[in-house]
Amino acid sequence: MSDAPDPETATLPPLAEVLAALRVVTIPTRTRFRGISVREAAILDSPLGASEFSPFPEYGDGEASAWLAAALDFGWCEQPAPLRDRVEVNATVPAVAADRVPEILARFPGCRTAKVKVAERGQDLADDVARVRAVREAMGPDALVRVDANGGWGVDEAVTALRALAEFDLDYAEQPCGGVDELVEVRRRLSTGDAGEGPLLGEGTASEGSGVLPSPLVRIAADESVRKAADPLAVARAGAADLLIVKAQPLGGIRRALGIVAEAGLPVVVSSALDTSVGIAMGLHLAAGLPLAERDGAQGAVLAGACGLGTVALLEGDVCSDPLLPRDGAIEVRRPELDPELLARYAAPAARERWWRERVARCHALLSASR
């Protein structure tokens, strides 16, 4: 591990230094993703390499401040040494029509795992089934296929949908419902075959001492219940998930995320939030800091397969001339150099630049007050 100070108590770089290092970019997406067609990000040309602050605009300052803590930690503090130099990644398939699936998969050369977005507003289960079927048919029976609902289903919808999708031999379903209690209930029904509508099970319903219910028909992974929660460990204590999806920025940085993962004691997959290559580099360093069960003999808090870090392929451009894109199903662990020409090409309009600078100032003030 690094000798760097505790990321939650370390002295922050002065705001003036942060703002002097900051450039705001706006990059179109290749297809609509999470309801957006343009990705905005604040890029920091910081002392130890480029860093990124890119919480989505709708996030409040309290939530966004964790993202700034991550950006400052990655840009101004030494990080743990990686355990490997490449990280396997998955293809990410947005909520597109089934006939567009081959086009999307072609952007992720060599990837043998795919995460498919489901539960999109304005679509129905038939759309999800068609999309997942198209992915399974395109990738073959030996590939791993995951689905991600981003909390878009209620309990009954989730159970119905996952039973319908189980025929495609899913690796897991990510955040089928929004709440921890809902995830517990979905796992219970998928484990027992219960289709009833009894009261939701809350904390304490897991097997005593284990914190985990029996394995369900489809494994459940928690994302938003970890990164958006005041207590990111609640999902593990409640037995609400079989594994965790972790992102470096929302959890306050690599070192804090590693601590949360170790305490949770569940297998993890590292993912991103449609970052530029700079943010992806942070995620790659987090993934590379976790042991692999089959290689390192570790159990519990281990990296559980391909990571959702290939999403630069979903952007029309990047801020680095040598972007972090999948090659042979994996991405090299490195910190890419910023390209001044690309920063200029994708520079945000003045009003958006000002909005992000004001946001950084507010989040910096919140972090300063908490130390």
Rounded CA separation 274/68 (Å): 16
Which of 40, 42, 44 has the alpha carbon at shortest distance from 12?
Answer: 44
Per residue in 249-271, is it b (16+ CB within 10 Å) or e — as a string?
bbbbbbbbbbbbbeebebbbbbb
Rounded CA separation 164/29 (Å): 30
Please give the structure tokens belonging to residue 27.
């990059």
**Where are any strands of DSSP class E within 149-193?**
170-174
Q: How many other C-beta atoms can be found within 10 angstroms of the C-beta atom of residue 35?
A: 11
Pairing of strands 330-332, 86-88: antiparallel
What would the 3-class secondary structure string for 227-292 be?
HCCCCCCHHHHCCCCCEEEECCCCCCCHHHHHHHHHHHCCCEEEECCCCCHHHHHHHHHHHHCCCE
The number of residues in the chain equals 371
Residues designated catalytic: 117, 247
Rg (CA), the chain: 20
